[in-house]
Amino acid sequence: MADEMTEPHFNGPEYTIDDHVRLLDQHMRIKQVMCDGVWRTLGQISIATKDPEASISAQLRHLRKKRFGSYTVERKQVGDRAKGLFEYRVMPPGYSSEFVLKDRKPNKYREALRCVWIHKDTTADQRIIIKECLGIK
């Protein structure tokens, strides 16, 4: 079996091995753009990657899967709900939105810890220590 972090495994009823290189390239483009933690609409991602919005949506779903790295993919509504516009962001595996401290004013200490929290090389043990420092259960 291929390494789940470097060689994702695609499948589906219409998938053929001929699709692998195209899907892998598309997956890597989208992942590269989105792993900075910035909120973007499908349209904005499409402009950055030149990939269709439907394909981007599928690749964002893939990023949640273990074989694609177990990333946290968050979605939030933008503007009028009736228009159905959403923004997405990709965070490292293990990221939890509970880290966001809505009831406290931001400060440099908490912002520095947040930066460490979202860094791709931060371990689960380090995240436990950060939560303890901030009093998060």
How does pLDDT run across 6-58, given as a tens digit for each residue? 556 787 777 778 888 888 999 999 998 998 888 999 999 999 999 999 999 99
In this structure, are 128 and 66 located in the same domain? no
Ordered DSSP codes for 3-60: -TTTS-----TT--GGGHHHHHHHHHHHHHHHTT---EEHHHHHHHH---HHHHHHHH
Q: Has residue 4 been placed in a domain? A: no
In this structure, are 39 and 86 located in the same domain? yes
In this structure, are 87 and 107 located in the same domain? no
How does pLDDT run across 50-101, given as a tens digit for each residue? 999 999 999 999 999 888 888 889 999 988 778 889 999 998 777 766 555 4
Domain with 51, as residue range(s), is: 17-91
Residue type at 136 in one-letter notation: I
In this structure, are 76 and 110 located in the same domain? no
The model carries a pTM of 0.64
In this structure, are 25 and 56 located in the same domain? yes
In this structure, are 78 and 23 located in the same domain? yes
